[in-house]
Amino acid sequence: MVVTELGTKVDPAKDEIRYNNERLKREKMVYVLLNKPKDYITTTDDPQERRTVMELVAKATKERIYPVGRLDRNTTGLLLLTNDGNLADKLSHPKNSITKIYQVELNKALTQGDFNKIEFGLELEDGFIKPDDLSYVQGASKREVGIQIHSGKNRIVRRIFESLGYEVIKLDRVVYASLTKKDLPRGRWRYLEERELIQLKHLIK
């Protein structure tokens, strides 16, 4: 039958849909978790021809997947890529307050005074920012701290420390939403497990 009316409902399980005599296939949803190394750009395409995260996941799927949010070129750690636009939008939306935990290495020890300032919250050029949690990394020098934050503002973790005169030497995202880097070496990717996907969707109801 030829469809001439907008909003005609089809059943993907039973109906075969063709356009210009070509069969249209429903896109398969793909969810890929990458442990991003340094020196890769979080974009699908770079005019300056720098290396992008898409090169690292090229063998994961034939579907077109996109990064959810972004990590700076020199930031490492967890990055989710998917073709599920609905999930990506919800994870990126500020109202869902998606948790991110970073391990930070600074150029010098973080003083107790500056630790307290960050913990109480700072006024940056684009508004007030207060982390959800802040701690020194156990067994390390006070140059290493863990910070939990749900803000999605650009370069927010680097800017927090830079505003107090510190330089961020290393920045690694170790937790994103309910996902962790467990058993995922730097530069490698894996598909999300069913239970991880369920947990993710549960966070953004």
The residues carrying an active-site annotation are: 72
Can you tell me which residue has the tokens 């849909």?
17
Angle at 114 between CA 110 and CA 116, to 5 degrees: 115
Q: Return the biggest CA–CA distance within the chain.
A: 73
Residue 10 one-letter amino acid: V
Give the number of other CB atoms < 10 A from CB of residue 1: 5
Nearest to 100 by CA among 139, 137, 63, 71: 71
CA dist 45 and 55 (Å) reads 10
Residue 50 one-letter amino acid: R
Residues 6+ apart with CB under 8 A from 79: 33, 34, 35, 36, 42, 53, 67, 68, 69, 71, 173, 176
